[in-house]
Structure 1
């Protein structure tokens, strides 16, 4: 697997956090007739995004739904598994938490734990984008096309970052989910009900759930580092009531216990800043 991070153009800084280019070679079978492939998992990280994927045999979502070559995905609460066989690659554009509504003008809640073929959007010609990406040879050119597409969306929809939601999500990330929600409501001069409604419209989930995801992500990074003696150290550091509480929450967002996740992660080829893992199957 090859993996690289691409700088984000200044025009898109308000909407895009990261861009990753990931390419996989052909997996080798260990016996004659064995089917080989790759599992690509994404976990809750508080951010929606856009993926362009190019696979010889297509990409399956949770072994059921065949994914479009270019699609938007919303907030990921339940873990998402994507399966591919043969040579494949993808470009992942990770948005800021509030960007879906800001860019595309639909409620982010509509896309929570779901994805949408970008050719179905009327903002800018998504079908042309899909065809051009598929027929372009290099990842560098494909990334440039995606940036150009997003810049056109910004211009056509007169997209602007919501400063209130940007501030709220930033504070929750910085505090590892510990920032009291009433304090955020006072900062933004919003009633609890208005704050929650606006949060769900822009972010796609409730503020409380977003706080739990920020807490989980901080704990996950600590687990990845390996710098701990026992799981209870991580649990107490990030505000979980006890080790069992940490394990339950971790399992909800990954589908695995922390120890099982570690075994899978060590067997895989994970990038330290990517919210998931990839491994041969």
Structure 2
């Protein structure tokens, strides 16, 4: 059973008391929990005097996002691939987004292609699912609230899953189970021994299916698990938690955190 709950920067930073910028997450129904980490919404009204920085962290997931302010339904829904570093963007225009955050190793039955195909940039849903998806795009834009949108996407996803003849790559799924269980604290060599596969075979599978190496995926999962603990802990415990995740040297810990988050632990978790 997966024991992995990715966390995103707005949940950690609680960026502003300004009600013009809101980020929220919602759990999927039990039938979709093997595939979907959460649904999320981002809303921003540019009339505010503030222009918040929206930070996106690598979380080992693939997202389907609906831009609810898109001018054309055919361009409102798109897929974004797995990230291996953080991104930060200054919000200057009105935003209204609804996202579906999929676990990368179990998303293939829904998008029909390896997650690696979406690493180069967003791909419109129309290209993956055909013109029929535009009805969903239109319904998502017209829906009155997030609860209604979740009903729409869950009904649609269950339909896609029921019709799909595409299955998750078994070696990838088994590998990820070990990575989650170890909270990312496992080497590729140890993973290969547990699976009774060669390191080369595992690396090839990760690159083909996800577009990243198992080492990169391990770093992301380790970072996310550590981030969850740091978020809930007092600053005085940061060094102890870092050591538990293999960062015995403070500069190494801070540099790695900056690379994946974009700022130091104290800045992010103040």
Within the alignment, does 1:48 sit opposite 2:62 as a pair?
yes
Equivalent residue, structure 1, for 2:36: 16
Which of the pair is proportionally richer in helix? 2
1:15 Cα deviation from its structure 2 partner: 1.7
Change in Cα spacing, 1:240 to 1:37, as seen in structure 2 (3 Å) is same
Structure 2 regions of 5+ residues with no counterpart? 1-18
Measured after TM superposition, the shift of residue 209 of structure 1 is 0.8
* Alpha-carbon displacement from aligned partner over 1:9-59 (angstroms, at most 9, x marks no partner): 344333212223444456532xxxxxx4343221011111212233599xx
How many Å separate the matches in 2 of 1:109 and 1:174?
A: 23
Alpha carbons 1:104, 1:153 under 8 Å: kept: no
1:191 corresponds in structure 2 to 198
Between the two proteins, the alignment pairs up a number of residues equal to 247
**1:169 corresponds to 2:169:** no
- Is the aligned partner of 1:133 residue 2:140? yes
1:7 and 1:222 mapped to 2: Cα distance? 20
Distance in structure 2 (CA, Å) of the matches to 1:188 and 1:97? 19
Q: Any conservation in 2 of the 1:124–1:152 contact (CA below 8 Å)?
A: no
CA 1:183 to 1:220, structure 2 compared with 1: closer, same or farther past 3 Å? same
Give the deviation of 1:212 after TM superposition.
0.9
Inter-partner Cα distance in structure 2 for 1:220 and 1:182:
25
Q: Is the contact made by 1:123 and 1:153 (CA closer than 8 Å) also made in structure 2?
A: no
Counterpart residue number, 1:243: 250
> Displacement, 1:3?
5.3
Secondary structure (helix, strand or coil) at the match of 2:68 reads strand
**Counterpart in 1 of 2:81?**
74
Indicate whether 1:90 and 2:97 are aligned.
yes
CA RMSD of aligned residues (A): 2.8
Match of 1:259 among 246, 263, 266: 266
